[in-house]
Amino acid sequence: MKQEEQLQAVKQFAKEKLGQDQTGHGMDHLERVVRMARRLAISEGVDPFLPMVGAYLHDTIDEKLVDSVAQAKEELASFLLGIDFNQQQVDQLVEVLGNISFARTLEDKPLELPLLGKIIRDADWLDAIGALGISRAIYYGGAHHEKIYDPAVKPRQNMSREEYRNLADETIINHFSEKLLHLESMMSTASAKKIAAHRQQVMLDFLTEFHAEWDAKK
């Protein structure tokens, strides 16, 4: 099977898994991550094919979106082998995609990703910041019935992976301090760092305006 055909099959697989998502992880998100992964890969002098494949698939085995990560990984591996990816490519993709989430960075010994993983993770994280990040944070928080903001609830610090996943202790605005504002400094590729700098400022300006309006100062 040609790469173009493989990519179309991968897109269809992702659409079947996440096409009905209403938490900010649907096909619009995946398509943006794919476009960004291609851009970053080219900037890094890397063939964009596998980064684009991984970008389409990165949320199909995400623990917050699937009932069983192990089962999702098995299904993904079987699917990829069935469309002519070789075992080495499948193993690499499954390993990388299982370790790109922000939650993984909160573990005692997070995995050092290869360049493929860094490109996919940077592309995904870039979609979590800036104007799109603001929109998705509000959309995701609303889907999980989070409060917009509560001055009495302070942002959590030095969280474990389990604490981070506990949405009962989070507000939408606190999510910026707990995760989103950290992502700029955690980007791996040079191109992503440049893009992230602008998107970081967009979020900081938004938060300044939000708090001014919350306190009726504007």
- Give me the CATH number covering residue 210: 1.10.3210.50
pLDDT at residue 110 in the model: 75
pLDDT at residue 165 in the model: 86
Q: Which domain holds residue 9?
A: 3-214
- Compute how many other C-beta atoms are within 10 angstroms of the C-beta atom of residue 42: 14
How many separate domains does the chain show? 1
Which DSSP string corresponds to 137-164?
HHHHHHHTT--S--TTSPPP-S--HHHH
pLDDT at residue 218 in the model: 86
pTM of the model: 0.94
Length of the chain (residues): 218
pLDDT in tens, 90-122: 999 999 999 999 988 988 777 789 999 999 999
Query: Which whole-number Å values give the CA distances from 96 to 104, 161, 178, in the listed order?
Result: 11, 18, 24
